Amino acid sequence: MTPQEEINQLTDKLNNLNFQYYQNSISEVTDFEFDRLLVQLQDLENRHPNFVREDSPTHRVGGTISKEFESVTHKYPMLSLGNTYNAKDLADFDERVRKGLGGADYEYICELKFDGVALSMWYEKGTLSRGITRGDGVRGDDITANVKTIRTIPLNIQAKNMPIRFEVRGEGFMPLTTFDALNKEREDIGEQLLANPRNAASGTFKMQDSGVVAKRKMDCYIYQFLSDEEIFSTHEESLLRLKEMGFNVSQTWEKCKSMDEVLAFINQWDKKRFSLPLNTDGIVIKLNSFAQREILGFTAKSPRWAISYKYQSESVSTLLESVSYQVGRTGNITPVANLKPVLLAGTTVKRASIHNANEIIRLDLHVGDYVFVEKGGEIIPKITSVDFEKRTDKLDNIQFPTTCPECGTSLVRKDGEANHYCPNESGCPPQIKGKIEHFIQRKALNIDNIGTETIEMFYRKGLVKNPADLYDLKRENLFDLDGFKEKSIQNILMGVEKSKEIPFKQVLFGIGIRFVGATVAEKLAIYFNDIDNISKATLEELLQVPEIGGRIAQSVVEYFQKVENQEFIARLKAAGLQLTHNAVEIVMEGNTLAGKTFVISGTFQNFERDDLKMKIEANGGKVLSGISGKLNYLIAGSEAGPSKLEKAQKMNVSIISEDDFLKML
């Protein structure tokens, strides 16, 4: 079998497995087997890139870097809908429809209005060719690489009697489970929490690295079909056919033959919508017949045949009984409002996040106030305002603490940051225990059989005061502890030993540097290759890493300057953990660059830095870490380091552009 035939066979097989899993809920193979086939295909595509198909399932894992998004004019403008919040406006809309259609019979399709990001997808000859954001409704951004990572969007359609070119539209969204996990990680690394899933989805779809987008497991509900040919006569018919073709059409829509039925649908979903995997903020009501839509037409901004009913955000007033302060793993101090329990959006709310000291001042909060609490688009209930009509005269201002509520250390608040934090990393109990919990989690060292209660016991008994202490545990340390049997002791020690095989990127994440999440840790591991290079990196060198900003770079520099952290890393080294990145094997392309040495600085149009390094090595060249008399070329991209450029000029090193490099090949 030729490589092209192998690639075609694997592509078709994996696409069919995806279709069965996401459309029919059938798992024909295990996750392990699916991943094995995907790796096999990716390896073939790396060796034979000219045979990669547009609908290859390897696009799902991302990896494409977009330096900028091309602006695209929509063939059919993506108009907004008129909004209403009451039944009278709906009755008026219905009357306008009735008059516009001259009294003819008509029916509506009611759909939930999902709170996400409107996306446009174009298919040519059955293959997904473009994914575009709504933008301003006239022009949007081409985010095709990111759209392809959404596993429920088919990369290829096998459907009869379809136009050569057609468009589908849908609502891209971040599932609530993903949003919760993302905020948990942000809280864990000391980042400010994302406000709501819609903003998180919008930011994710505009990321330059599609590999990061893929890891967030975005989703999309399709709700519209468009083409130059008249394929369907009703919206109902199009939804049924789209579902049949393999698109992810939410089965929450309903056909209504009167405004009374529309109102019943609205009432039905008023509470039921909270059980869905994403947020909704209303109902969209559309005429079913496409011919009747043509009759009614459009205004300058919106169609006359559709309207959006928006649910009022449910808000309740309750007593703010007290404010407590939580200390996170990175020392962040988070104020939490303790409320008189109240029913909100189907759940009993007892606590609400206040985020930081600025928010206390902005809301003018006092203990004893009655406050309005909402969920709306938020996962965590939030206080929106004070019920000033119920405020009494003798309420004290809330004073944000100046010392840590756990260890008494003076709190720090850096310029430009909203949060206060406790700097006592090695002596503050919640930080110490939090660091150990962070270190052993699945995305880090993945040490099984150690939970929060076990960590609490280890800490209380003085066995583990630092994650490195885990590697000093012996059977005799654990044997006398309450509840520990031979089997549980064996499992813990085995889990600790197995963690020595965990890849460097996960170890780096587990180390727990402030602002360094799993994605940033992976980028640092790949870029610098080992822990020593990262520990010696200057602020300027760290800023050269893609998507590493000043706050992260400064945090990394400060971390490795501390003696206790240097000692911690030394203990991990001595324990035998993986502190070097195992680079991908280079497939040689030629020897054009043999004997030539290069240093890379800045960002590039056609290459991610790691890809450029591999390209140099694949053609016989060598990449050096710094500028010296032995260097032949400095490849300078945009935002190249000024000190590197200056040093190269002084040493008469040739400074070349990305285009110059490509010409050398």
Q: How confident is the model at residue 625 (pLDDT cuts 50, 70, 90)?
A: low
Q: How confident is the model at residue 31 (pLDDT cuts 50, 70, 90)?
A: confident
CA distances from 131 to 6, 143, 163 (A): 28, 6, 18
Residue 171 backbone phi and psi in degrees, to 5 = -110, 110
In this structure, the strands spanning 71-73 and 139-141 are antiparallel
- What is residue 482's predicted lDDT score, i.e. its pLDDT? 80
pLDDT for residue 319 is more than 90: yes
- What is residue 211's predicted lDDT score, i.e. its pLDDT? 86
- What is residue 36's predicted lDDT score, i.e. its pLDDT? 84
Show the 3-state SS of 252-287: CCEEECCHHHHHHHHHHHHHHHHHCCCCEEEEEEEE
- What is residue 153's predicted lDDT score, i.e. its pLDDT? 96
Q: Kindly report the average pLDDT of the chain as a whole number.
A: 90
pLDDT for residue 256 is more than 90: yes
Contacts of 442 (CB under 8 A, 6+ apart): none
CATH 1.10.150.20, applies to 504-575: yes
| Per-residue burial over 568-585, b = 16 or more CB atoms within 10 Å of its CB, e = otherwise | bbebbeeeebbbebeeee
Q: Taking residues 622-632, what's their average pLDDT?
A: 82
Contacts of 556 (CB under 8 A, 6+ apart): 513, 516, 524, 534, 537, 542
Q: Taking residues 553-557, what's their average pLDDT?
A: 96
| Contact (CB, 8 A) for 489 and 516 | no
**3-state secondary structure at position 643:** helix
Catalytic residues: 113
| Contact (CB, 8 A) for 662 and 606 | yes
CB atoms < 10 A from the CB of 66, how many? 17
CB atoms < 10 A from the CB of 26, how many? 10
Per-domain boundaries in the chain: 3-61, 73-310, 315-390, 429-501, 504-575, 597-664
CATH 3.40.50.880, applies to 73-310: no
Report which of residues 643 and 177 the model is more confident about. 177
Superfamily of 597-664 according to CATH: BRCT domain (3.40.50.10190)
Task: Read off the pLDDT of residues 403-448 as tens digits, 9 standing for 90 and up.
Answer: 999 999 999 998 878 889 999 988 999 999 999 999 999 899 999 8
Q: How far apart are CA 258 and CA 237, in angstroms?
A: 19
Superfamily of 3-61 according to CATH: Helix hairpin bin (1.10.287.610)
Residue 530 backbone phi and psi in degrees, to 5 = -150, 170
- What is residue 183's predicted lDDT score, i.e. its pLDDT? 86
Q: 217-231, 258-272, 627-641: lowest mean pLDDT where?
A: 627-641
Q: Taking residues 393-398, what's their average pLDDT?
A: 86
The hierarchical CATH code for the domain 429-501 is 1.10.150.20
How many residues appear in the chain?
A: 665
Q: Taking residues 177-184, what's their average pLDDT?
A: 88
Task: Read off the pLDDT of residues 479-500 as tens digits, 9 standing for 90 and up.
Answer: 888 878 888 899 999 999 999 9
pLDDT for residue 378 is more than 60: no
- What is residue 165's predicted lDDT score, i.e. its pLDDT? 95
**3-state secondary structure at position 312:** coil
Q: Taking residues 267-296, what's their average pLDDT?
A: 93
- What is residue 119's predicted lDDT score, i.e. its pLDDT? 97
Q: Taking residues 209-228, what's their average pLDDT?
A: 93
| Contact (CB, 8 A) for 187 and 193 | yes
473 sits in the region (left: phi over 0; alpha: psi -120 to 50; else beta) called beta
Task: Read off the pLDDT of residues 52-83 as tens digits, 9 standing for 90 and up.
Answer: 898 898 888 876 767 678 999 999 999 888 88
Q: How confident is the model at residue 92 (pLDDT cuts 50, 70, 90)?
A: very high
Task: Read off the pLDDT of residues 111-166 as tens digits, 9 standing for 90 and up.
Answer: 999 999 999 999 999 999 999 999 989 999 999 999 999 999 999 998 888 999 99
Q: How confident is the model at residue 85 (pLDDT cuts 50, 70, 90)?
A: confident
Task: Read off the pLDDT of residues 187-204 as tens digits, 9 standing for 90 and up.
Answer: 888 787 787 888 899 999
Q: How far apart are CA 583 and CA 9, in angstroms?
A: 29
Q: Is the pTM of this model over 0.85?
A: no
pLDDT for residue 1 is more than 90: no
| CATH topology match: 429-501 vs 504-575 | yes
pLDDT for residue 345 is more than 80: no
> Hey, what are 432's tokens?
């110490």
Q: Taking residues 270-287, what's their average pLDDT?
A: 90
Q: How far apart are CA 276 and CA 345, in angstroms?
A: 13
- What is residue 377's predicted lDDT score, i.e. its pLDDT? 52
What top-level class would CATH report for the domain 315-390?
mainly beta
- What is residue 65's predicted lDDT score, i.e. its pLDDT? 67
Q: How confident is the model at residue 584 (pLDDT cuts 50, 70, 90)?
A: low
> Hey, what are 244's tokens?
């049949």
Q: How confident is the model at residue 209 (pLDDT cuts 50, 70, 90)?
A: confident
